[in-house]
Structure 1
Amino acid sequence: MVDARIEMMPENWLENAGKRLKQAWLVLIAATLLAALALLAQSPAYLVVLGWLLLVLSVLTMPIARTVEREVPQPVVSEVEPLDTLKVTGAAFAAIDMPVIVLGPDGGIVETNPAAQKAFGDLIRGQHLSARLRSPGILDMVRDTMQTGQPNQIEHSERLPSERVYVARIKPIPSMDGEQRLYALSFRDISDLRSMDRMRSDFVANASHELRTPLASLRGFIETLMGPAKSDLAAHERFLGIMLDQATRMSRLVDDLLSLSRLELKSHIAPDQRVDLVPLIGHVRDSLSPLADELGVEIFMHLPEGKVEVIGDRDELVQVVENLIENACKYGQEGKTVDVHLKRDETDTVEFSVVDRGPGIPAEHVPRLTERFYRVSVADSRSKKGTGLGLAIVKHILTRHRARLIVKSELGKGTTFTVRF
């Protein structure tokens, strides 16, 4: 913006100049009379003349005042097309990623955003909230807020299509005239927080239980050897064998816990080695052959010729392959065979699969298989010397390798674990 200052001479400047001249003549006359009086009072002549000259000069050099008018600068307003407030508000409402339902004073649905439609299905305008959300807690909360005008919130769970947990909150929306006629019902998804809390508490409880059981067993056998069986050599041999098994179980558990801790510390660091999976899988198969023979299971390899390389950490990938093949041999023992497949497709995707023909896994257990200490059958897992952490370790390793674990199972037909790089 340009700041313009313009000096303008007023139209009546002649009239003002005339007034100033009249004033100047009056001053001159007054100065002359004062000089005459000073002479009569016998003042020095040179002081009288000097004073008179100064007065005359000051009057003669007095400028004629000019009235200056300055133009007041006006702000430059650019012409901008006014925004459509309703459109902007509607777009902002639709962009909210949490479900929001606007209710009228009768509990009818006035407006919803896409997140609400996705979470709760088809919400029809004008339909009463109770026709879609049948939660007594939410309906009571809405009714209470409409009566008191105070915000409320409760925790709400949805079971279908999957279990979700929300913090449902309702708050009145003041209208322009001060009356509260609309209500905003919002839902904040806290499913992940609840899942993490459950996993954390389960982990502490399970870890304590898994360590306490072998410790109690060890303590009991030690007390027996120090007491009633102090001189019984046969009991010594039998009890020491059991104690060794319990100590080995504790050692495996501690090793697995340390492995999980190390994996979590470096989960954000992607591996940078090139690993050939063909010899790696062959090495794991050879190391597990004694276990497979003991269980009566035969491992069949279906590996391509040449190299099949992925970016990864060799030791961690050995853990993944070992865990999956060992689990297939233990829990798919009834099928007597385990098939190991490795292939690379035309899109350069590498897939490693382990297939057993065991009893299979019920569908409700499949999503939780990679949780720490989660077991489909606790007794079966312990009898096979499992710690309940194997698949959790596999999940953490594959997350670091930016790979996916896919589980497909059918009761009575077996289970397939697929790692996709």
Structure 2
Amino acid sequence: MPDMPPLLAELVATLPLPTLAIDHSERIVALNPLAQDLLGKGVVGQHFITVLRQPTLVDAVEQCLADRMPRKAPFLSSTGSGDITYEVALQKIAGTGTVILSFQDVTHLAQAGQMRRDFVANVSHELRTPLTSLMGFIETLRGPARDDAAARERFLGIMTGEAERMNRLVGDLLSLSRVEAQERVRPTAKVDLRNVLHTTLRNLTPLADDNGVVLHHDRGDLPLMIRGDSDQLLQVFTNLIENAIKYGGSGQSVEVTATTSDRDPALRAPAVRIVVRDNGAGIDPLHLPRLTERFYRADSHRSRALGGTGLGLAIVKHILNRHRGRMKITSELGKGAEFCVILPLDTDTA
């Protein structure tokens, strides 16, 4: 095994990141316990190519040994729980032929970058469809349908619908941005959830009537006091009850119930549970874990036809996170769906 200065070996051992040293003979001469966990045991004395293997990092090591310039290179690893992305910093020690490699876990940055790319792609896709439709109708109205009054009225109606769809999407994007910005700021105002539910049900009664849906509710007789943002809570229950009305089906009913517990198992504290249940076609359990993801739709065609943007439940999730709440979704095909919102009670007010 190549000789390694004791001081440098001790320094490598104390560094907080996975770190190893490669000398002028291109062999690994020292590594700390974190690097040993990453690369395995028995690597000291081996040629670095047989240990690191990944071409981009191997090239960076060879160049650093040759020209002594610091570099950075990626290194990918995998565990039982998933892939890990490292950024490796390479630095040659002045006056020696030794290169130090430090591995920093940047998985969260890689995931955030991928989320941004996916988000931009989804928004572009959602906007492209109505924009393409609008451009096509405008071209038709300027050309073949210029003097066709009936076609003009029909096309203008469709164009209005597409414009409203884009407006809803932009509105939900702005709402999601605001909610995410406030997510770590816990609300302090005292709110009675019974009043929030009363306002929500009153606002949605005309929609329920238009869809032939009957709203049943049981909000109890006692105040349901929590610390919250009444506007955001109104947004939560408007979203859930409106979805239940639209997806529950004509001739069905939607039940909204509120119950309290001195120690709710989900929060391990006094809490209120608001359950919104419809009696529609239900949701395949396969989709349930992903329903709160941005732009995820269990039935994309039906969701778009009903005016959904794919962001509603994502907004609900972030609002509930701000209120230290939870949401549980249960459903079976043919047996409707149930959305249960769990929020901590304000015991001081009680």
TM-score (structure 1 length as normaliser): 0.57
Q: 1:258 to 1:251 in 2, by over 3 A?
A: same
Q: Compare relative contact order (CA 8 Å, sep 6+) and give the higher one, 1 or 2.
A: 2
1:111 aligned partner: 32
Query: Who is 1:360 aligned against?
Result: 285
| Alignment partner, residue 167 of structure 1 | 87
**Residue of structure 1 in register with 2:4 after alignment:** none
Selected match of 1:243 from 159, 168, 173: 159
Letter in 2 for 1:186: S
What residue in structure 2 maps to residue 348 of structure 1? 270
1:136 maps onto 2:61 in alignment: no
TM-score normalized by structure 2?
0.67
Quickly say closer, same or farther: Cα 1:299–1:169, change in 2 above 3 A: farther
Question: Between Structure 1 and Structure 2, how many residues are aligned?
Answer: 317
Of 297, 317, 320, the match for 2:233: 317
* Distance of aligned partners of 1:103 and 1:337 in 2 relative to their CA distance in 1, 3 Å threshold: farther
Tell me: CA distance 1:376–1:166, structure 2 relative to 1, closer, same or farther (3 Å). farther
Cα distance between partner residues in 2 of 1:197 and 1:306: 47
Structure with bigger strand share is 2
Could you list the runs of 5+ residues in structure 2 that have no partner in the other structure? 1-6, 264-268, 345-350
- CA shift, 1:388, in A, is 2.4
Aligned match of 2:310? 388
How much does 1:280 deviate?
Answer: 1.8
Aligned partners of 1:324 and 1:417 also within 8 Å = no
Identity over aligned pairs, percent:
36
- Aligned-partner Cα distance in 2 for 1:165–1:411: 38
Aligned counterpart, 2:18 = 100
Equivalent residue runs for 1:69-218 within 5 Å: 93=15, 96=16, 99-102=17-20, 107=28, 110-113=31-34, 117=37, 125-126=41-42, 136-137=54-55, 140=58, 144=62, 153-158=72-77, 160=79, 161-171=81-91, 180=98, 184-218=100-134
Q: Which amino acid in structure 2 is aligned with residue 278 of structure 1?
A: R
Any stretches of 5+ residues in structure 1 without a counterpart? Answer: 1-84
Aligned mates of 1:312, 1:322 — CA distance in 2: 16
Q: Give the 3 Å change call, closer, same or farther, for CA 225–146 of structure 1 in structure 2.
A: closer
Q: Amino acid of the residue matched to residue 312 of structure 1?
A: G
Paired with 2:51 and 2:271, the residues of 1 have a C-alpha distance of 44
Cα deviation for residue 359 of structure 1 reads: 1.7
**Closer, same or farther: CA 126–208 of 1 in aligned 2, 3 Å:** closer
Describe the shift of the 1:108–1:90 C-alpha distance in structure 2 as closer, same or farther (beyond 3 A). closer
Q: Distance in 1 between matches of 2:222 and 2:178?
A: 33
- For 2:325 and 2:40, locate their aligned partners in 1 and report how far apart those are by CA, in whole Å: 39
Aligned to 2:348: none
TM-superposed CA distance for 1:279, in Å, is: 3.4
Rounded to whole Å, the distance in 1 between the matches of 2:302 and 2:142 is: 32
The structure with the largest alpha-carbon Rg is 1
Residues 128-186 of structure 1 show CA distances to partners (whole Å, capped at 9, x for unaligned) of 799x9886347736974897595654223445413443213355678xx9574xx6543
